[in-house]
Amino acid sequence: MQYLESLNPPQREAVETTEGPLLVLAGAGTGKTRVLTTRLAHILSLRKATPHQIMAVTFTNKAASEMRERVSSLLGGLPVEGWWLGTFHALCVKMLRRHAKLVGLESNFTIIDTDDQVRLIKQLMEAENLDTKKWNPKMVASLISDYKDKAKKPSELNANDVGGLCDGKLITLYRQYQSRLRVVNACDFGDLLLHMITIFKDPENKQILDQYRNQFQYILVDEYQDTNVAQYLWLRLLAMREDGRASNICCVGDDDQSIYGWRGAEVGNILRFEQDFPGAKIIKLEQNYRSTKNILAAASHVIAENESRLGKTLWAEAEEGEKLIVKGLWDGAAEARFVGEEIESLHSKKHSLNDIAILVRAGFQTREFEERFMALSIPYKVIGGLRFYERAEIRDALAYFRVTAQPNDDLALERIINTPKRGLGASTIQMLQHTARASQISLYEAIRTVTQTDELRPKVKETLIELVDKFDFWRDQMSKIHHCELAKMILDESGYVDMWKQDKAPDSPGRLENLKELVSAMEEFESFSQFLEHVSLVMENQQKDHAEMVTIMTLHGAKGLEFPIVFLPGWEEGLFPSQRSMDETGLKGLEEERRLAYVGITRARERLYISHAANRMVYGKWVNAMPSRFLAALPDEVVDVQNEVFGRSSHWDSSGQNNHRVSAGADPLPNIVRPTTNDAGDTLAVGARIFHDKFGYGKILHIDGNKIDISFEKAGRKRVLKNFIKKA
């Protein structure tokens, strides 16, 4: 049991407390994953349970596979087989395939994604004559998902819950959506949990719930702070015994890192743990093994401003380390330039680019850095963005596969019914959908029915018969030929590959490549349906690259990761904390933003740069921004403030204590920013976009009497007289 030796006392206690409910509050960098995996290995090596009797729930597939590897390596490299390890959704699918009949589904049901969801809802709204401009189908879809996250079925909602949404038809829509899903034998992500909860709650199915309760002797849940109500209820159903005692459930999480409230996560779940699971023990992991003292101090001071937290105090034996660099810059471009230069200098000092990460609040912020890095030839990778399975050609191909495997999959059929173009237009499709809805049958069945009549033009009828015949043929081949061969056959015979071959767009060769990659990815799976299941649950692309690169990603994407050097750009009011978060959920939103800041800071091991720009282009308009309030929380003694912005903002000044934080080199006096007016009457201010007859468009950098310094888009930096320019 040498694996216990390397743990600190609370870590060891968390591993050895195997019986009864346990909450492990693990601060950032305190060895959370290590405790989880060691605990699992411990239970297995003491033979307290067989793998089959263990359930381990993670939030991502990536976390699940990491856990699989780490546990087996702790046990001497032997793979652990037969345990229930996976995401909430993956575990629910496994269960639901067994009991699908109980909620009116066939066990080969399809799992639809957000895109399909929205399209289906839009159709239903149009059928109800709802104005899809007034009520955005996307919004309606997310409302329904929210109800599902809260484990609320249509029957459990009343008019008070939905108000006047969708002209009071929201509950009706939700109900129709569910019944339509049943007809097409499909589930959305929320349903996976909700259906299982429905099954578990029904006294008729008591023996099913009992069977699982008996089976899972040990339950482990990672990232508990990110669970939503439905996930919580599902867990509780499995983890509570009939006599009201909790079984051996161990939840690991950090309330300070709860950053998914906007998609239904309830911090309350972790805050309420002791009440929910009577007799629960709570162990706090507070020793940080990741960051320097300075970085930790910064993180602690930021998060300390939050009201609702359980309260942990991180400490470290590490060195103080370098001070954090807080840099104020003129605009987003200057910020990108600064980061680029700093990275070049770090790289020349033998820091690997792999050690460097840029963590942004929102996806669009990556662009400025990408442009700059391309200009400087700094290799970089953007994590996130559109994923492999989200590309149009991949989704189309998958839609073909889905209809082959499960003809009632309307959403998939609609997607490709006229791709490639077959002359099946909106009117034909509408007629088919109408028939399908009216007779409560799937689109595929509707096509079969309608093509037996003369309601359609002969040409259209012919095309439809040909199409369904092809699908029938492919379905027949499923049991006869290898699934990769079948995939190639489908893509070929459907004309889909030809469609891209004939497309002259510059990206079509790449799309054909992607299709090839898709087919080769199928090799790893045993069957067509197994592959489809994998794809619907695992949307991430697992391509590994060996080259040295800087990582650019969102703060959300960075949770659970660490880097020696971290850049946190865009710390400005409105951007971070995000205005929208604060507008939508007020203090709750602000606190979540602050946790996000905490997550960002604690990703850094050795060096941390935080930057903010005074001016930023937002949706094509220049806006000036104040430094983020989170900066004011950083203790003076751990930061080195370098402000390149001449006029310091009122917020920065108003925080009083920060007034002395201007680096020695800055000389703000000669650079007072004062707008001027030209003879044409245009107000000319620094940062304004202007036009010059000879040099074209540009931006005002500096005003010096009637002479103005301008950065022209084409001509570069020039000094011109104010009367030669006008406002753009």
Considering only residues 3, 13, 48, 62, which one is a binding residue for DNA as defined by CB under 7 A? 62
**Judged by CB under 7 A, how many residues of this single chain contact DNA?**
47
Residue 557 touching DNA (CB under 7 A): yes
Q: Is 603 designated active site?
A: yes
The residue to which tokens 């401003």 are assigned: 305
Q: Does 206 bind DNA (CB under 7 A)?
A: no
Region near DNA per CB under 7 A, out of 161-169, 290-298, 521-529, 535-543: 535-543
Active site includes 33? Answer: yes
The strand pairing partners of 283, in sequence order, are 24
Are 651 and 626 within 8 A, CB to CB? yes
128 lies in the site for DNA, by CB under 7 A: no
Q: Does 650 bind DNA (CB under 7 A)?
A: no
Please provide residue 424's backbone torsions phi and psi, each rounded to the nearest 5 degrees: -100, 100
Among 59-67, 325-333, 437-445, 542-550, which window interacts with DNA (CB under 7 A)? Answer: 59-67
**Nearest residue (CB) to DNA, 86 versus 340:** 86
Which of 191, 222, 276, 331 is labelled catalytic? Answer: 222
As a whole number of angstroms, the distance between CA 459 and CA 386 comes to: 38
Tell whether residue 619 is a contact of DNA (CB under 7 A).
Answer: yes
262 binds DNA (CB under 7 A): yes
Per-residue binding letters, 88-117, with DNA (x by CB under 7 A): xxx----------------------xx---
Catalytic-labelled residue, pool 38, 178, 227, 257? 257
Which residue stretch of 301-309, 542-550, 574-582, 710-718 sits at the interface with DNA (rule: CB under 7 A)? 574-582
Residue 15 tokens read as 């591993």
How many whole angstroms separate alpha carbon 610 and alpha carbon 705? Answer: 35
Nearer to DNA, 428 or 435 (CB): 428
Kindly give, in sequence order, each residue whose CB lies less than 8 Å from that of residue 462, ignoring residues fewer than 6 positions away: none
Q: Which of 383, 319, 379 is nearest to 344 (CA)?
A: 379
- Dist. CA 174–CA 182, nearest whole Å: 13
526 in active site: no
Return d(Cα 426, Cα 370) in angstroms, integer. 40
Cis peptide before 577 (omega within 30 of 0): yes
Among residues 7 and 383, whose Cβ is nearest to DNA?
A: 383
Handedness of CA 563, 569, 571, 574 (dihedral sign): negative
Please give the residues from 286 up to 315 whose contact with DNA meets the rule CB under 7 A. none
Q: Are strands 689-692 and 725-727 parallel, antiparallel or unpaired?
A: antiparallel
* Closer residue to DNA, CB minimum distance, 345 or 530: 530
- Residue 354 token pair: 């792999």
Q: Which of 540, 548, 640, 704 binds DNA (CB under 7 A)?
A: 540
Residue 543 makes contact with DNA by CB under 7 A: no
- Determine if 374 is a binding residue for DNA (CB under 7 A): no
Interaction between residue 418 and DNA (CB under 7 A): yes
Q: How big is the CA angle at 353 (ends 340 and 331), to the nearest 5 degrees?
A: 20
CA dist., res. 429 & res. 439, Å (int): 16
Taking the complex as a whole, the smallest distance from the CB of residue 323 to DNA amounts, in Å, to 29
Stretch that binds DNA, among 60-68, 161-169, 514-522, 658-666 (CB under 7 A): 60-68
Q: Are 529 and 494 in contact (CB under 8 A)?
A: no
Give the distance from CA 552 to its chain's centroid: 15
Minimum CB distance to DNA smaller for 421 or for 694: 421
Indicate the pairing of strand 248-253 with strand 218-221.
Answer: parallel
Q: 327, 415, 461, 603: which one is catalytic?
A: 603
Report yes or no: 725 and 694 within 8 Å, Cβ to Cβ. no
Report, in Å, the least distance between residue 122 CB and DNA: 7
384 binds DNA (CB under 7 A): yes
Q: Quick check: 60 binds DNA (CB under 7 A)? A: yes
- The catalytically annotated residue of 13, 16, 17, 33 is 33
Q: How far is the CB of 277 from DNA (least distance, A)?
A: 24
Position 423 contacts DNA (CB under 7 A): yes
Instruction: Supply the DSSP string of 543-603, one letter for each residue.
Output: ----S--EEEEEHHHHTT--EEEEEE---BTBBTTBHHHHHHHHHHHHHHHHHHHHHHHTT
10 Å Cβ neighbour count for 337? Answer: 17
Q: What does the binding site for DNA look like in residue numbers (CB under 7 A)?
A: 59-62, 87-90, 113-114, 132-133, 136, 189, 262-263, 361-364, 384, 418, 421, 423-428, 460, 537-540, 553-554, 556-557, 578, 580-581, 584, 589, 593, 617, 619-620
List residues with catalytic annotation. Answer: 32-33, 222-223, 257, 603
